[in-house]
Chain A
């Protein structure tokens, strides 16, 4: 199975900050990567698919980039509602796998 490794696992940030979360695949996955946001007690929400395509209705402050093995999720100006846990997921080959998550906390 393809292993997805996110970094950092958690960090603190302030409203207005630009934040970057990275995701590395253990082998090449082309652009078959999605990013999700999850808040406590809620289901995940799709933010980005195909590594860089913004899902409908997602604010433009979210962006994704990368291909092959290295990917990033950027939030250009962190808002209060963005404090959550973020997961990357590869859908290049079965079994589809998720990263371990990155928790963004309020500083």
Chain B
């Protein structure tokens, strides 16, 4: 059974940093691209960043480019999102999501974690 479990969310001050983790199980982690998608409570979905199965290719939304870094560790089946220079508008639930098909990033997500809430506030 595929499982994705996010952690690392919490309250952080503007300008601060946070690292999110997503522990994956139930599939060959290194074969699938992964993404982070966020959702302001009560609002819509926003794709944040994606990474290929090998980790060699990464992509970002303009809203986080230069501030967030996506990475993965296939030795422990974990996806990360390092978030720096956080702003109030980064407040959201952050989901990790698995690509539907193995290979390069493709963009349809068949499994999602339960989400972790990041609150940026003083």
Contacts and interface: CB of A to CB of B under 8 A. Distances in A.
A79 B62 CA distance: 39
Interface residues of B, number: 22
A44 B112 contact: yes
Contact of B44 (A1, A49, A55, A87): A87
A94 B106 CA distance: 10
Q: Which 9 A-B pairs rank lowest in CB-CB distance, beginning with the nearest? A: A91-B107, A43-B112, A49-B108, A34-B108, A96-B47, A98-B45, A95-B61, A46-B110, A101-B44
Query: Which residue among B35, B44, B110 has the maximum number of chain A CB atoms within 10 Å of its CB?
Result: B44
21 contacts: A34-B108, A34-B109, A36-B45, A36-B109, A44-B37, A44-B95, A49-B108, A55-B100, A55-B110, A87-B44, A87-B45, A89-B108, A94-B50, A95-B60, A95-B62, A96-B35, A96-B50, A96-B107, A98-B46, A99-B44, A100-B44
Interface of B: 35, 37, 44-47, 50, 59-62, 95, 100, 106-110, 112-115
Contacts of A87: 44-45
Q: Which secondary structure dominates chain A's binding surface?
A: loop
A83 interface: no
A91 B45 CA distance: 14
B115 A43 contact: yes
Interface residues of A, number: 24
Nearest to B107: A91
Interface in A1-32: 1, 32
A89 B62 contact: no
Interface string A42-56: 011110011000010
B114 A97 contact: no
A89 B45 contact: yes
Contacts of B95: 43-44
Given A46-B110, A96-B50, A98-B47, 10 more contacts: A34-B108, A36-B45, A43-B95, A43-B112, A49-B100, A50-B108, A87-B45, A89-B47, A95-B62, A98-B45
A96 B95 CA distance: 15
